[in-house]
Each structure stands twice: as C-alpha cells, then as structure tokens.
Amino acid sequence: MKLLIQAVFIAALLLMAVPSAHGQDAEYSRKGADTCIACHGDAEIMTLFHTKHGAPSNSQGPFGDGQLQCEACHGPGGAHAGRVRRGQERPSVIRFVADSATPVEEQNGMCLACHQNDVGFSWHTGAHPGDEIGCADCHDLHASADAVRQTSTQPDVCFTCHQMQRSETRKAFSHPIFEGKMDCMGCHNMHGDNAATQLARLNVNDTCQQCHAEKRGPYLWEHAPVSEDCGLCHAPHGSNHPGMLTKRAPLLCQSCHSQSGHPSIPQDAGGLAGGSPSQFLLGQSCTNCHSQVHGSNHPSGSRLMR
Amino acid sequence: MQRKLFSSLIVGAALAVTAQAQTVDTSEWVCEFCPFEDGHRAHFEAGATNVSEDSAYFGDATGYDEDGAYANVDGSGMYTGANTRLRWLAEDLGLDSRVIELDGRLPGSLDFNLGYRELPRRQFNTTATIFDRSGSDTLSLPSGWANAGTTSGMTQLASSLVPLNIERDRSIFDLGAGFVASDRWRFSMDYRRQDQDGLKITGGSSFAQASLLPMPFDYVTDEIDIAVRYDVDNGFIAVGWYLSDFSNDNSALTWEQPYSFDPLIGNDTFAIAQAPDNQFQQVSLQAGYSFTEQKTVVSLSAAIGDIEQDASMLPYTVTSSVPTSPLPRTSLNGSVDTTNFALAVTSRVIDKGRIKFSYRFDERDNNTAQDVWNRVIVDTFASTALETNIPYSFERSSLSLSADYDLLDTVRVSAGYDRKDIDRDFQEVAEQTEDIGWGRLRWQPTSALELDVRGGASERDIDSYNEVFAASIGQNPLLRKYNLAYRYREFGDLSMSFSSDKYSVTLNALYADDSYTDSELGITSGEELRVAADFNWTIAENASLYVTAGLEDMESKQSGSEAFAAPDWSATHDDDFTTVGVGFRIRNLAEKVDLQMDYLRSDGASEIIVDTALGGPSEFPELESVLDYLRFRLSYRQSERLELTLNLLYQRFKAEDWALAGVRPATIPVVLSLGAEPYSPDVYAIGIGFRYRVGAHTKD
C-alpha cells in the first residue's frame, strides 16, 4: 500500500514537471513570492534576501531568472494560497521545522534536488539520515548568517544533539571549541563520509595530523600506539588531564610498560611535593625524561629520551 | 528508514526535473515585494575591553592573556552585484585570535574562499627558567652558574630564574576555489598554510637527572587538496590529490647541563632531536551511485598514500669524547605506504526495512629500512647493546552490517553486527579480532516524543600474546597492553526527547563496562557512565531560557608488579565530571534592548588510589578543576543602524593539581622544573562598544 502511495506521489511530482496545455501549472501560486510575502513578510523570513538563496544573481538559486522562488523549496503553493472554505484546514506547503507535517525525507529531498552534488552520496550511507536528521535541523536557510557555517557558532548547532560531546568540550583541557575558535568540521564531515565517525579524513591519525603534522613521522624510533591511533592515549573532545590524556601519568604509561625497574614501581602519594618529591610523579612525570613520546629521530633516541 | 532515503532521492530527482524543466509559467512572478539586495550590507562592531588580571588560562585561545585594556573590532558584510556575491567576516581584529574570511562567487561559476586565522595557545605564565635563549635552538646556562648534583645544591638557581611564559601562536591561511565547468565537471582546489611557533615544555635528561626545557619550535605545514569530479545521472566519480608538507626550522634543541658532570667525559652539553620534516601525499578516488530501481545507494572511497621523512639525523652524541661508530645512515629515508578503502551500501530490501553494509580497510605499511644502531646513553656513554629500529605496520579492517525494521508505525527495531580485525607487525599480538553485536529499539508514539534504546556486547580476542617477544623488550610476561588485550565489553545507550511549542527536553545516557579477564598486569577493568540533558523553554516570542547538564564517571583499574613477577600493586583511576549551564535570551525588550546571559559551571575531579602490598592503599589528593563562567551581553538599539553594547565576562578557574602544586624549580631533587603552578585565575572583563550597520540597499 505504501509503495502504491509512494508511486502515486512520485508520479504526481513527475507530472508537475510536464507543462499543462495552457503552459500554466495550477499547483503553483499565481504570483510566486509576491503571493507568499503578502502573508509571510515577517522580518525573520525576509532575511532570506540577505542570503544567496535570495539573490537573483544566483542563476541556479530559487530567485534566479525563471526559478520557482519560495516554491522552489516549499513546493507548489497554489492550494495553500488559494481560498479555503470555512472550517477547512488550509493545505500546507513543505515546512522545514520540527513539527512539520512534511516527512524529513521529503524535506531533505527538496534540498538534495539542487545540492546532491554538494553533499555527496555518502550522506545517504552516513549516520545522520538514518536518524532522520533533516537538513533544516542544522541549517537555517532564512538567517542572514547560517550558524552551522560559522566556526564560532557551529558547535552549538551540533551540540543540540551531541550533548555528551558538549560536556567534554567543557573540561579543563580541550580543543578551543568552547572559546569559539574551532568547529566540529575541523575533524568531522557532517554530510557523511566513509570514514568512521564521519572523520574529515579516512582515519583518526590522518585527521589529527592535519594540524599536528609534527607527530606524523615516520620516526626512526616509533612509539607503536602513536602510529596506530592517537585516541589510544588522547581524548580528543576533552579531558580532566593536561594534553587531553585519557588518564594521568604515570598510570597511563604503566598501563603498557612493565619493564623491570622504575616503570614497574608504584608511585604513591608519598612522592608528592610535601613528601619525598618523586621525579616519576611530579612535573611531567614519565616525560620528564622520556619526552619524545610521539617518536624520536635521534640515533640515540630508542628510549624516547633524545 | 531506507524507504525514506529513497523517497529523498526520488523526490529530489523529480523536483530537479521540475526545476530544470522550468515548466511553470513564471512570467508574472515579478517579485515586486522581494527586497533583493544590491551593493553592500555590513555591520561593524568596535569597542574596548578591560581585563582584570594576567591569566594564561583565560587568554588561551582568546588572546586576553594580559591585564589591561584591549581595543577590538569585528564586522561582517556582504556585497551583491550583478554576477558576484562576496561575504566577509572579521572577528577579534584587535586580539591575537583574529579571524578574517572572504568568500563568494565570481562571474563564471567560480567560488572561492580566503581566510586568515590566528590561534594563541597560552599554557603557563607562572614559569621561569635559568636558561638563556639567545640562540633559537640552544639553551645556555647563565654566567656564574654553579653545577650541582641535585637541584637543592644549585646555589645560583633562585637568582638565575627569569620569568618566561610558555605559549605558542598558530596562524592559518587558507585559499580555496571551486569551478563548475559544466553540468558534469567540477574542479576544486584548497591550499592551507599553518605557521606555528613558540615554546613547548620538553624534558631533557642526563644520566640520573632531568631539566624541563623551554623548547622553541617553528613549524610550517602546507596542505594542498585538489579534486576533479565528474557527475553522471544518479552518481559521481571524483579523483583527488592531497599533499601535507611539514617543516620545522629547528632540527634540534641543545642545552647546557646544569647538573654536575664528569669533566673527563666533558658531557656538559646535550641535544635532543626535534620533529623532523615530513611529507604526506595521497591520491584518492571517491564514487557514489544510486541504483534507484534497486533502491540502493553505494558510496566508495579509496586512497593510496605515501609518507616520506628524510631529515638529516643528529650525531649519536654531541659529546665529542664519547667514541661512537658511524651512523648506519645519515638520514632515515623513512617511507610509509598507506592504503584506505571504504565501501558503504544501504538498501531497502522490503517496504518496512533496510539493510546497511559497510567495510573499511586501513593499512600503514612502514617500509623504512631497519638498521643496527649503537646509541649513546644520554650523551654520556656508549651502550653496549646494539638496537634495531622497528618500523611498525598494521592492517585494520572493519565490517559492519545492520538492519532496521518498522515493526509498527511508531516502533522501529534494529540490529547490527560489527567485526574488526587488526594485524600488526613487531608487536606482542599479531592478529586481533573484535565481534560486536547490538540491538536497538526506537519508539516514537508522537512527533513530540521519542525514545531510543540500544544495547550490546563486544568481545575482542587475540590469536596469542607473544610473551617471548614481550620479554625481548623487557616487559613482564604477565602484562597485557590494553589495546592488545582480550576484552569483553557490555554497553548500552539511551536517548529520550520530548518537545512541545514551548518546551523541549532531551536526555542522553551511555554506559560501558569493560573486563580484561586475561590481563594479570595492565588494565584489568573499566567502567564508564555518561549522562547529558537539555531543557529549553520558549517563555515568549522574544524570550527563551535553557538549562544544560552533563555527568561523567569513568573508572579503570590496573595492576602492576614491582617485583617483576605476579601483581603486587593495583591502582584505581576515577575521573568524574559534572557540568551545568543555564542562560536566557531576551530580544526586543521595549523594542530597544537585547539581553543575553550564559552561566556555566564545570567540575572535573579525578581520584587516584594506589594500593601496594607493602604500603597499603595510598590515596592521592583529588585532582580538581572547577570552572565558573559567566557571560552577559546587553545591546541597546539607539537607532536602526546603531547599537550600543555592554559585555561582561567573568571566569573563575581553580585547579588542584598535585603534579604542579608546590613544585618549584628545586622541589624535585633530580628534575629542574620551570615551576609551573596550577591555574587559579579569577578574571573579569568588561567591554563597551557600538555596533553600526551600513548598506542594505535594495533594488528598485
């Protein structure tokens, strides 16, 4: 049954593409945007004309010559703008709001009609459409400045759903996201990518090394987890510990290093400044000496001390 | 879900046909009420801000690191011409965090973007050093310095300390262009240069002592990303080339030994290597296709890359009296081949369900030649052991299969299976697999209410833990490195949302429980709970209020062996974090005033207990970081174009960190530190300014 409805709907849409004998499609409004603005001339809506969607110079845009203006996105508005009998509900156009009667996929279809090539096909295989995220959940098309396209305001848009990541960015040590100096898109491709967690590049390290290329090496003396996955030691959204480490040294290092001697010695609170200050605990802990934890290119650097 | 996906595609295709065909008679659509813009529209904001005190923490990323007055200018604007649109943005021009962006479309379907951004990182302003940094890569001792075996014996230490902030600056310049050559062909090019220089803290060790050194560095990273794309009906194919070229002006850091040294050896100067220049190139292929009839979308990415590093090496030692053999080679000639492949397919197999399949492959093949090296231990004496460099390589693959089914109109059930494989060279575990199974239930009784629950388990297994190899690098054979160890994980997450015209509430929670049952030493268990919630209230058309909250509790346990045998100590590491935010927005109060207030409190606490067989449990003082942050903004519209603004920013950050607290340069007998203190700023900033709008001409 649903297939039939869908087929009828598609057929109807395709029929819209065919001009009537009179060259006039009755489904659309008579005067285009003028019809719409007569009722919907609120300031928040009219800011569309501050954007490229509202610019006639954008020939491919809704207000380009011969384009469908408001109805390019909101669909045919003839019935919506027409007369309705008393007590009859006014037919709706496609609305891009949370309580819209228009299904999300249909909303997105309107955007993808023009932006499929911009968004890419991995959008369809990514996580967002699977969770019924609409384009308009992130993009504000009528705003002078779309918040999700600006570094300082983008994270707040993402955090609407990704609340745990927001919490993490408020930790004492994090990327400068809270300060508005870095956005989510620096590391993630929201429109979907084939990388895990929609990373900007195809794996974690390639993504981190866009900005931290000094860690890339290859070094003469490599530290195995570094070349494999930065996330083995770092929490990229934020941490209670300096360097966004997942836990405090020396325990972090002792998770993997058990050599005889100081790597295996437990460091207790007696080694703090008020007791017998320990070089294994205070200051930079293990990296007081093994400072080249990301690798060393020094011929004598096998212990990551040079 | 898949049904919706294909509806999107089909609706999109149909509407594209509609739009392209331009079959609607729009000759009377004159749009006389449309305020089309012509020319410039912009706003400028200028003001002055007074910051109450010096603070590295407050100034980190913002540029407000010193007390006093700051003048600042912001602005944004748009130019609309016949065939041209330009958008510009300027932020924080008076600060070290300034941003300038320009983008737009030029005649001929050429899109471009140009940007410049500065990012100040301010780590410590409580640090001091004895070293003279007259040379960019050499740290010298002050004249009259008296070397000593421990820091407490350094008689000239106190008088030689010179305050030195640990800070660095990053600037990013980027230029991008995109050109739509035809309906089928698109070209894009992006260039980005990042300059980063400043000081890092690095540890420099001698035989039994170390000094924390202010290491100057000067990095440049150039990136170029070029792509050509060809669109076909329902699909595309694109090829790209990416280059990332890193260079460091400093190849080494040399410092004079502040501790006592053996005059016969003459090891009075040491050197460590800095990050070497390297270059990464990658050729990529991307493709996507929608098989509309089969209701299937395929997306593919593939890339091969090459990392090269051939920077000249330092000698084994800068101590000339230590006999050394010749270096096997004078530069690494390091080379790593990378291969990435990813394929994702979604398909609606039945009316009420869909399946999704994805496969990823990731290889790092380090081809760097191995050689035998005869290191000099901390520039003091030659090691008797010969060592071979280890070029780590791995292959990693991930297969994922999931299915959704609409059980009812309001209920969707999903299930999935993931399989991850990692093969590694030169490590304790050669082959590792992980099987993950999960199920999900989503219930949406109304458009306003949604409940989503997911749960599952994973088992990570290994072929064997090579204890012989572990022993060859000196590891206790009972240790299981946590990323190589057997692990059983149970996990679950829940999300719930409710919204109405006035209110919305959302809640997310996540739980994971890890058991490393085969690990006698190393991490033995882990547990994680995260909860986050939001409440939004639209009080009136011009007023809203929000509350956000987050809670995290992450605990892990590990064991060690001081006796290099069975476990004789254990440790618990417990990270807690809570955050609460509250704020409101009021617009057009008396048609003149906008108010905005945001308050945030974040409290991070970490508890560490180390329990030894001899000493019993030893609890560390809590590591704590408490942030109170208040931001208030008031703007008063003097006229249609002019607004007056008042900004108030208050930040109190209190850190309790035993790694730094009370650790003065001479506190640790064998580590000469920089005396960095835990952050404890209590800063407010008050700013006044104005905002002025210009332009906004409309076409007649």
Residue-wise pLDDT for B545-573, tens only, equals 999 999 999 999 999 999 999 999 999 99
Report pLDDT for B698. 53
Residue A101, φ and ψ in degrees, nearest 5:
-75, -15
| For residue B386, pLDDT beyond 50 | yes
Q: Do A14 and B14 touch (CB under 8 A)?
A: yes
Give the Cβ contact number of residue B17 at 10 Å. 16
Cα–Cα distance measured from residue A199 to residue A222, given in angstroms and rounded to the nearest whole number: 24
pLDDT tens digits along A131-144: 889 999 999 999 98
- Looking at residue A244, its pLDDT comes to 97
Contact A78/B at CB under 8 A: no
Sheet holding B132-135, edge to edge: B132-135, B138-140, B252-256, B269-273
- Taking Cα atoms as reference points, which of B457, B458, B445 lies closest to residue B412? B445
Verify whether the Cβ–Cβ distance A121 to B34 is below 8 Å: no
Q: How far apart are the two ends of chain B, measured CA to CA in Å? A: 47
Contacts of A68 in chain B (CB under 8 A): 18-19, 24, 26
Residue extents of the structural domains in chain A: 36-144, 217-288
High-pLDDT (> 90) share of chain B, %? 85
CA trace torsion B19, B22, B24, B27 (10° rounding)? 120
Mean pLDDT of B578-593: 96
Tell me if chain A has a CB within 8 Å of the CB of B281: no
Distance CA B411, CA B240 (A): 42
Asked if A98 reaches chain B (Cβ–Cβ under 8 Å), the answer is yes
- The beta-carbon neighbor of A121 closest among B289, B303, B605 is B289
Buried b (16+ CB within 10 A) or exposed e, B586-597: beeeeeeebeeb
CB atoms < 10 A from the CB of A90, how many? 11
> Cβ separation of A13 and B658 shorter than 8 Å?
no
Q: Which of B2, B3, B8, B267 should we substitute to test contact with A (largest number of A Cβ atoms within 10 Å)?
A: B8
Judged by CB atoms closer than 8 Å, whether chains meet at B552 and A167 is answered as yes
Establish if A7 touches chain B: CB-CB under 8 angstroms: no
Question: Is residue A36 exposed (0-12), middle (13-18) or buried (19+ Cβ within 10 Å)?
Answer: buried
Burial zone of B22 (CB within 10 Å; 0-12 exposed, 13-18 middle, 19+ buried): middle
Q: Which of A5 and A154 is assigned the larger pLDDT?
A: A154
CB B47 within 8 A of CB B28: no
Q: Chain A partners of B633 at a C-beta cutoff of 8 Å?
A: none
Whole-number pLDDT of residue A20: 33
B311 touches chain A (CB under 8 A): yes
Angle, helices B2-21/A2-16, rounded to nearest 10 degrees: 10
Q: Are B297 and A121 in contact (CB < 8 Å)?
A: yes
Flag whether residue A228 sits within 8 Å of chain B, measured between CB atoms. yes
Residues of A in contact with B314 (CB under 8 A): 298-299
Beta-carbon pairs below 8 A across chains A and B = 530
Residue B7 predicted with pLDDT over 50: no
Say yes or no to pLDDT of A129 above 60. Answer: yes
Q: Is B56 part of the contact surface with chain A (CB cutoff 8 Å)?
A: no
Q: Which residue of A has its CA nearest to B118?
A: A181
**Strand extents, DSSP E, B469-568:** 487-499, 503-515, 522-540, 543-560
Which of B82, B223, B314 lies closest to A299 in CB terms?
B314
Interface of B with A in 538-557 (CB under 8 A): 548, 550-552, 556
User: With contact defined as beta carbons under 8 Å apart, do B668 and B212 qualify?
Assistant: no
Sequence-ordered list of residues with C-beta below 8 angstroms from that of B211, at least 6 positions apart, any chain: B203, B204, B205, B255, B258, B259, B671, B672
Nearest to B499, CA basis, from A136, A137, A99: A99
Amino acid identity of B529? Answer: L
Q: Which of residues 437-476 of B touch A (CB under 8 A)?
A: 447-448, 473-476
CB B9 within 8 A of CB B290: yes
Q: What percent of chain A has pLDDT over 70?
A: 92
| Whether A265 and B271 lie within 8 Å, measured CB to CB | no
* Distance, CA of B290 to CA of A120 (rounded, Å): 11
Tell me the nearest-neighbour CA distance from B439 into chain A, angstroms.
15
Q: How far apart are CA A52 and CA B110, in angstroms?
A: 14
Query: Touching check for A49 and chain B: CB below 8 Å?
Result: yes
A40 contact B CB<8A: no
Cα–Cα separations (whole angstroms), residue B107 to A23, A56, A57, B42? 32, 14, 10, 22
Q: Is A251 helix (H, G, I), strand (E, B) or coil?
A: helix
Q: Which A residues in the span 101-140 are in contact with B, Cβ-Cβ below 8 Å?
A: 103-106, 108-114, 116-117, 120-122, 124-126, 129-130, 132
Whole-number average pLDDT of chain B: 93
Q: What is the pLDDT at residue B230?
A: 95
- Tell me, yes or no, if A208 comes closer than 8 A to chain B by beta carbon: no
Read off the pLDDT of residues A243-267 as tens digits, 9 standing for 90 and up: 999 999 999 999 999 999 999 999 9
- Find all residues with CB under 8 Å of A154, minimum gap 6, and list them: A147, A148, A183, A184, A185
Q: Is the pLDDT of residue B263 over 80?
A: yes
Q: What is the predicted pLDDT for the residue at B576?
A: 97
Highest-pLDDT range among A78-82, B1-5, B428-432 = B428-432
CB contact under 8 A, A247 and B575: yes
Whole-number Å distance between alpha carbons of B324 and B386: 12
Distance from CA of A88 to the nearest CA of B (A): 23
Q: What is the mean pLDDT of residues B244-251?
A: 96
Q: Largest alpha-carbon pair distance within chain B?
A: 97
Nearest CA in chain B to A73: B15
Q: Are B354 and B3 in contact (CB under 8 A)?
A: yes
Tens of pLDDT, residues B104-144: 988 777 899 999 999 999 999 999 999 998 767 899 999 99
The DSSP string of B321-390 is TS--PPPS-SB--EEEEEEEEEEEEEEEEETTEEEEEEEEEEEEEE-PPP-EE-PEETTTEE-SS-EE--
Q: Dihedral of CA B665/A174/A223/B461: which sign?
A: positive
Q: What is the pLDDT of residue A52?
A: 86
Tell if the CB–CB gap between B346 and A125 is shorter than 8 Å: yes
Reported as type and span, the H/E element at residue B415 is strand B411-424
User: Which token pair is B220?
Assistant: 């440049």
Residue type, B77: G
Q: Quick one: B384 exposed, middle or buried, by C-beta within 10 A (0-12, 13-18, 19+)?
A: exposed
Which of B15, B80, B612 has the CB atom closest to A57's CB atom? B80
Using a CB-CB cut-off of 8 Å, the residues of chain A touching B91 are 152
Cα gap B307→B245, rounded to integer Å? 10
Task: Report whether B319 contacts B254 (CB < 8 A).
Answer: no
What is the arithmetic mean of pLDDT over A7-23?
38
What CA–CA distances, in Å, run from A128 to A162, A169, B517?
12, 21, 36
The 3-state DSSP class for residue B567 equals coil
Q: Is A197 on the interface with B (CB under 8 A)?
A: no
Of B24, B327, B427, the CB nearest to A224: B427
Q: What is the pLDDT of residues B494-540, one digit of tens each?
A: 999 999 989 999 999 999 999 999 999 999 999 999 999 999 999 99
Q: Taking a contact as any Cβ pair under 8 Å apart, which residues of chain A between 242 and 261 contact chain B?
A: 247-248, 251, 254-260
The whole-angstrom separation of Cα B624 and Cα B601 is: 13
Phi, psi of B460 (to 5 degrees): -105, 125
Determine whether the interchain pair A288/B99 forms a contact, defined as Cβ–Cβ distance below 8 Å.
no
The pLDDT value given to residue B25: 83
Residue B301 and residue A202: Cβ atoms within 8 Å? yes
Quote the tokens at residue B582: 């509250």
Q: Does A48 touch chain B (CB under 8 A)?
A: no
